[in-house]
Structure 1
């Protein structure tokens, strides 16, 4: 038997009761502290009531290259993509601040992770997952929520005693199983900020995030196209004002952008969209207001 990492669930061994997660979600809140040039990321993990698995691990991709690939997607302009091109570090700078009681934090394979017990049961939420990052910007990152998993449930004798399976088959099977039983998605996390910061490029980046939030369903509902056009217009105007050296007008235009976000939060913007765009706008405002 040959196992591949892209096998479908139907091709895998039967799932023991209680393992797969279905639609675990993560809600992010982001606060910017100008005096420290620091962003604080707070996460609330919810295990869907439709899941049967107990969530015991929460991972966030913090690799620099992964962030650049996501930001450099077709939805982002060449100018904004090139803004991040000089970054060469392996991971984005960050620090753990807290975790829920009974959970621990760590880093593995360019991933910030929390794991522990008590597990997050179906229908339950758990917060207090907090990290900070300096010299970064809030961006869209990948996450994974993982259930309790014992390889012996799928492989006779477990991964350490795979019987007549080759080591490659064992690795492929393990990867395929974990890919299917986990819940994956996108949240807000740190993306490294290059040393040279240009207001115009930051505004282009903020515009691209607005459109990515639409594609992720974070900006939604009837009339959302018109709302995005309105936000784009404010950012375009602020970019033009900043280019002419009129920082005061650019600040007013960017404040109008933030006011629109606040007015539509919960109506057309979920928390992820709101904090993603507001935090980046606050960072730009701090740069425009700097002496």
Structure 2
């Protein structure tokens, strides 16, 4: 009898020790890549932001959620939400659960004003959060495993491209966390927050309601510098210099000069000349992006060729186009 009890107790101990040995805290995500393109439908003025997420092999965790800040900046315009739809996911009967942007907001006790957006379904459920983000969450079967890329995270909005914070979260096996996390909500929340991978990308924002051309061109200049610091504008080798600039000082100097000259014309009150300088700036942005795409197929970008990424392209092109339109100019296909 006692022998049986001893054996059972021993087995229980082994099971407990085994379960504790598998208990572990997940590793934070590292070097996740969020790539973004943005295009504009010139007939409607609506932008489509298309995101892809790459989970590198160095990670041992799956990615299960993705959020982008869409909070409205102080002093920003009120943007139209007409026709914007949140494709939240698939219902039990197989039909799509759809809400208009206004319906989605009405169901939330929002802590922040947000830019009106729509989303498209890519296998992950989506929605707007009370904290001013639009986000996607996956099921167990559709999480992004290490070494894989998932495409098709799409935002539709009338908001101009701006630099936005993005957050990705790894999957957590709550059943196998160490004992101190059991029923400890605060500690578990701290763990969740510590594992968030934060990065920056582009997403919709609102231009100022009180529009001032010189302040807006200063904003574009600042966007250019931020894009450079984020690695979206790459100054290449010496043999790339001089291709797009007036003096052989590289693409950053060339882009700077075009914006500075446009600003000078605005200060002088010569709107027409400022528009021409801004068009020249757009031409260079387009040429740099096109050449970068062509070289991508022939060379690795790490080899040092000057280029701008799709993020910098969208930021600089569409904000400059907006400024030109506000100044009374227009962009034609062959401008």
Map 1:174-253 to 2 at 5 A.
Answer: 174-222=188-236, 226-253=250-277
CA pair 40-88 structure 1, distance change in 2 beyond 3 A? closer
Deviation (angstroms), 1:187 = 0.2
**Residue of structure 1 aligned with 2:149, choices 103, 125, 137:** 125
Match of 1:80 in 2: none
Match of 2:101 in 1: none
Please give the secondary structure, in 2, of the residue aligned with 1:36: coil
Alpha-carbon separation, structure 2, partners of 1:178 and 1:255: 47
Deviation (angstroms), 1:222 = 4.0
Please give the secondary structure, in 2, of the residue aligned with 1:53: coil
Alpha-carbon separation, structure 2, partners of 1:23 and 1:206: 28
Alpha-carbon separation, structure 2, partners of 1:228 and 1:98: 36
CA pair 158-107 structure 1, distance change in 2 beyond 3 A? farther
Map 1:9-158 to 2 at 5 A.
Answer: 14-16=24-26, 20-64=28-72, 85-87=74-76, 90-101=112-123, 103-108=124-129, 109-117=131-139, 118-134=142-158, 136-156=159-179
Deviation (angstroms), 1:241 = 2.5
Match of 1:285 in 2: 324
Q: Name the TM-score, length of structure 1 as normaliser.
A: 0.74
Equivalent residues, number: 247
* Unaligned 5+ runs, structure 2: 1-22, 79-111, 242-248, 293-305, 331-335
Alpha-carbon separation, structure 2, partners of 1:155 and 1:283: 53
Alpha-carbon separation, structure 2, partners of 1:243 and 1:40: 34
Whichever of the two has the greater Rg, that structure is 2
Cα contact 1:32–1:283 (8 A) shared by 2: no
Deviation (angstroms), 1:245 = 4.4
Cα contact 1:94–1:131 (8 A) shared by 2: no
Please give the secondary structure, in 2, of the residue aligned with 1:142: strand
**Greater relative CO, 1 or 2 (CA 8 Å, sep 6+):** 1
Q: Name the TM-score, length of structure 2 as normaliser.
A: 0.65
Deviation (angstroms), 1:105 = 0.7
Deviation (angstroms), 1:229 = 2.2
Alpha-carbon separation, structure 2, partners of 1:133 and 1:92: 11
CA RMSD of aligned residues (A): 2.7
Match of 2:278 in 1: 254
Alpha-carbon separation, structure 1, partners of 2:56 and 2:223: 27
